[in-house]
Chain A
């Protein structure tokens, strides 16, 4: 395995974005989800080679791994469907060899355009519209929250 003059192993950094937009997740739970996905897909031996760790935070995450294992890390990340109790998708944006380069690819959270209540099928949802014609509908119930994902063109949210 290639090493720097300081004897530190070379690393790769993967920038990950969370969907739905605006969701806030506990970094420890994200780490647990990444570690579980790696272990269940690749087993303990390969997971220890990948050695994933969650580095930074702002609606996006930087996941660090050993160089040469980034493809396996990305495959494992694509199998994550939940972080803690939240249903999420983790979209990998880019991979880089330095934190500096990957930070330059980070972007601010999508802008919230409007927020209002809408009724769909006799249920009341809080609709949040984001840039890119996206409207997320949130229903808060006794058993937690349910989400629907629509677009501004959809008749239900117009």
Chain B
């Protein structure tokens, strides 16, 4: 490289700059540069969700939480904690969670950051105690695995009781009755 060329070399950046032109865009008036694979906020379809809690177990930052009360089970999604990993979408057994490309999540109302899906809990038909599962979960399980009609809608304690009773009836008569 000759001496003059060496001196002039740094100025070549002007050529690069003029070739490139402007690279910034007038966001938000123009579309941001987002790839089709981008992972954004998730959306949970309340009509499909069965409240099984698989997503809650998989969620690394606890953005999805199951809040249990007396007769309700509430799935809460908090965008503020979400890391947009979409693990919940991988593990959802019914495909209720859908990923979107939405990342513009700023809001002036903190309540906008929460999504709630409320499920009813199953009541035991025998003793009236609420069991762990939701009504939809029960329906889902019944579709997959056939449980005798006699046993569904009952809490584990009652199921045990009925089962033992049934066996003892067959052999020695009802439990607890001494002859």
Does A associate with B in a complex?
no
- By a beta-carbon cutoff of 8 Å, the part of chain B in contact with chain A is none
Residues of A participating in the B interface, judged by any CB pair closer than 8 Å: none
